[in-house]
Homo-oligomer: A and B are copies of this chain.
Amino acid sequence: MAQKVKLSTIGESLGVSTATVSLALRDSPLVAEATREKVKAHALEMGYIYNRRAASLRTSKSGILGVVVHDIMNPFYGEILRAIEMELDRSRQTFILSNHYDRVEKQRDFLETLMQLGADGVIMSPAIDTPASDMELLQKNGLPTVLIARSVPEVDLPVFRGDDKFGISLATNHLISLGHKRIAMIGGTDKTSTGRDRYEGYVEAMHKAGLEVKDEWRIVGPRTKAAGFEAAGQFLALPDKPTAAVCWNDLAAIGLMSGIARAGLRPGIDISVTGYDDLEEASIATPALTTVHNGQPEVGRLAARAMLDRIEGKHSAHGELTLIKPELHIRQSTSKVVERL
């Protein structure tokens, strides 16, 4: 590769100062129009590449935004990321991504990297058991932070997520209205706010309807298709044979339906199943999945918007919680109760 072209290279060959070149390239009105155009044409011709590191060192703005989630391969996060990407596309921010796989150390490593790169902010779905001190470190180092999907107890930061308790009650009540009385809850964990809130909402809805909730009817854990698939055996062997399953998310629900079908029963007919999230593939599954719209596009868009506003100094919002209103989408995976023999 040839000698690197920099501002001074352009300046010298044009007989102007680097300051002028710098201003011209950034469309400063301080520079005469004729000069500006001459500089720009020359920069293009010489194959000039702007050195962001140098600029960033000087201005302490990096144009980098961090995004951390549990796992980008999970379509729930994928759909949020897509919305973030779209919103950011209009700005000049580059976003850099990381999975934490719910390992606090991996998350910490990435946050440290962001600080080293002088990131302008971070949008994150915090790992399970994230200590408040990790979040405080970000504040101390001036890294604006916005939370998505999950809250961190005792931490005062803007959060964008769905109203889990209300959302799961929609699914549970729908099954109750179809005559189901023995309803199991599959998936999730008490270690996240979503896990706790959704279980609580399910229990409350059952009790309000005067229905019994058995501890054994809760299968803790599944969050993926594979895990939902594997849970089918356990579900079908549950005491008192529940006729329906409220799943913690769509992936577990789709996996569970597949497992039920393998066992020779018909999901949506013999066993009713609800999901949560309304992933794009929920409507494509067979049977199409009855599920709760959890607002991934809104969460991503609003979180990105809030971050951009903060970077642009529009306001320094503190700790408000924005709940997206869930909606029930009824499809073919739920139907009137059929007693199992």
Contacts and interface: CB of A to CB of B under 8 A. Distances in A.
A253 to B, nearest CB: 13
Contacts of A96: 94-97
A226 interface: yes
A19 interface: no
A1 B113 CA distance: 18
A99 B85 contact: yes
A258 B229 contact: no
Given A56-B53, A57-B57, A118-B51, A284 B226 contact: yes
Contacts of A286: 258, 261-262
A198 interface: no
A255 B226 contact: no
B97 A97 contact: yes
Interface string A128-160: 000000000101111000000000000000000
Interface in A62-82: 62, 72-73, 75, 78-79, 81-82
Contact of A116 (B52, B284, B285): B52
A115 interface: yes
Interface in A302-324: none
A259 B284 CA distance: 8
> Interface residues of A: mostly helix, strand, loop or mixed?
helix
Nearest to A73: B78
29 contacts: A1-B139, A1-B140, A1-B141, A1-B142, A2-B140, A47-B137, A49-B112, A49-B115, A51-B118, A52-B113, A52-B116, A52-B117, A53-B53, A53-B57, A53-B62, A53-B117, A53-B118, A85-B99, A94-B96, A94-B113, A96-B97, A97-B97, A225-B281, A225-B284, A226-B281, A226-B284, A258-B285, A258-B286, A261-B286
A27 interface: no
Contacts of A95: 96
Interface of A: 1-2, 47, 49-54, 56-57, 62, 72-73, 75, 78-79, 81-82, 85, 94-97, 99, 112-113, 115-118, 137, 139-142, 225-226, 229, 255, 258, 261-262, 280-281, 284-286
Given A85-B99, A225-B284, A54 B51 contact: no
Q: Kindly list the 8 A-B residue pairs having the minimum CB-CB distance in the complex, ordered from nearest.
A: A73-B78, A96-B96, A52-B116, A258-B286, A1-B142, A261-B286, A53-B53, A49-B115
A110 to B, nearest CB: 8
A95 B99 CA distance: 11
Contacts of A229: 284
A284 B253 CA distance: 13
A226 B284 CA distance: 7
Contacts of A284: 225-226, 229, 255, 258
Contacts of A1: 139-142
A317 to B, nearest CB: 18
Contacts of A82: 73
A56 B56 CA distance: 11
